[in-house]
């Protein structure tokens, strides 16, 4: 079942629960009203989870999006910023995807800035992002 269908189904379930709960024409006491609110909260959580699963699936199905997500999370997998910089420099040389190369350059500029390295390295990545070429070319 695709994401759209899950959203429709979860929306219908939420509507049915609310319609049954509120459509009886009964004025609820505090406990019944709390149960309805709790059910509504759980339905919202399930809808959010289904949306997250759908979004993650869309990323996994798109090679460029998957690579960009990996670039964004590289710092979670290395001990030192210098290791992340070294890894991304290697990936920059290996990648042919323009979107991925731009994501790597954005991350490298940020890593250079935050690691206290030379400003020239950070600005060099930004220059390539802005102009499409470096001043060394």
Please answer whether residues 6 and 54 qualify as being in contact, where contact means their C-beta atoms are separated by less than 8 angstroms: yes
Backbone dihedral angles phi then psi of residue 15, each to the nearest 5 degrees? -65, -40
Residue ranges of domains in the chain: 3-61, 63-131
Cα(first)–Cα(last) distance of the chain, in Å?
A: 50
Please answer whether residues 88 and 111 qualify as being in contact, where contact means their C-beta atoms are separated by less than 8 angstroms: yes
pTM of the full structure = 0.65
Task: Read off the pLDDT of residues 35-44 as tens digits, 9 standing for 90 and up.
Answer: 888 899 999 9
Of the two residues 59 and 22, the one the predictor is more confident about is 59
Confidence of residue 13 (pLDDT cuts 50, 70, 90): low
- pLDDT on residue 10: 58
């Amino acid at each position: 079942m695709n994401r759209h269908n899950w959203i429709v189904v979860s929306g219908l379930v939420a509507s049915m629960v609310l319609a049954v709960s509120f459509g009886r024409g009964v004025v609820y006491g505090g406990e019944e009203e709390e149960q309805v609110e709790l059910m509504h909260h759980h339905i919202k959580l399930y809808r959010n989870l289904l949306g997250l699963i759908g979004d993650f699936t869309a990323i996994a199905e798109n090679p460029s999006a998957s690579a960009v997500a990996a670039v964004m999370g590289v710092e979670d997998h290395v001990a030192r910023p210098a290791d992340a910089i070294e890894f991304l420099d290697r990936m920059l040389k290996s990648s042919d995807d323009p979107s991925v190369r731009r994501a790597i350059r954005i991350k490298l500029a940020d890593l250079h800035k935050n690691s206290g390295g030379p400003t020239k390295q950070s600005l060099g990545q930004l220059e390539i992002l802005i102009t499409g070429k470096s001043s060394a070319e």
